[in-house]
Amino acid sequence: MSSDEPDFLSESMSRYLVDRIAATPNIQIHTRAELSGLEPNGDGDLAFARWKERDGGGEQRHEVGHVFLFVGADPVTDWLRNCDVALDAKGFVRTGPDLSRDDLARSGRRTIPASLETNVPGVFAVGDVRSGSVKRVGGAIGEGAAVVAQLHAYLADLEDRGQTASGQRATATWQAGDAIDLQREPGSCRGCRSGGPRDVEPR
């Protein structure tokens, strides 16, 4: 293992994991290697793995009993593009201070939304799908808890204005633990409705 390899790993992996890998003597790191084949033994269990070094060096074949794949995360948010919800270059949902001026201008907002709110008023994102989140269970749980307060603030604001985003009188009252029904039409969000987010004055 060359000395720059842990640094290469840190581009895509948490520091604590890189440090643990580097400190474990029976781990050999092959960065820039591409798995090229898996071979079973007579019982159908994995016996050998083959990989190619991307920087050259040909194919290697070694006795390997287990393979764990971690090939990255795909947020699967293409459908949100139709709702005007701002996404980052990898498709994660931008919220709060991560929104650009263009994102805000596009949805007619003059102020930065709450930390977990998207550019579309009333649409929030938490957990792995949110751009810049820590991609950990604890982070997702924490954001899930924190967003409840932001939802209450958003709904209270609507109540203060005496209307919902679609111009209807707000009738719901909200208490912790209540199911949240944003009066959505099936298959749509406010941002998809004609004039949706633009009906709401920026807060």
Ligand X SMILES: Cc1cc2nc3c(=O)[nH]c(=O)nc-3n(C[C@H](O)[C@H](O)[C@H](O)COP(=O)(O)OP(=O)(O)OC[C@H]3O[C@@H](n4cnc5c(N)ncnc54)[C@H](O)[C@@H]3O)c2cc1C
For ligand X, the binding residues (CB under 6 A) are: 70, 76, 127-128, 135-138, 140
Q: Which of 69/89 has CB closer to ligand X?
A: 69
> Cβ of residue 147: shortest distance to ligand X, in angstroms?
11
The closest of 124, 88, 125, 92 to 103, measured between CA atoms, is: 88
The radius of gyration computed from the CA coordinates of the chain, to the nearest angstrom, equals 24
The closest of 82, 121, 77 to 99, measured between CA atoms, is: 121
Which whole-number Å values give the CA distances from 123 to 30, 55, 129, in the listed order?
A: 42, 45, 13
Q: Which of 129/158 has CB closer to ligand X?
A: 129
> Cβ of residue 185: shortest distance to ligand X, in angstroms?
16
> Cβ of residue 68: shortest distance to ligand X, in angstroms?
8
> Cβ of residue 153: shortest distance to ligand X, in angstroms?
22
Q: Which of 135/203 has CB closer to ligand X?
A: 135
The closest of 141, 97, 94 to 115, measured between CA atoms, is: 97
Q: Which of 60/79 has CB closer to ligand X?
A: 79
Q: Which of 79/156 has CB closer to ligand X?
A: 79
The SS3 of residue 93 is strand
> Cβ of residue 60: shortest distance to ligand X, in angstroms?
25
Helix (H) or strand (E) holding 1: none
Question: Looking at the DSSP assignment, which residues form a beta bridge with residue 40?
Answer: 46
Dihedrals phi, psi of 94, to nearest 5 degrees: -80, 140
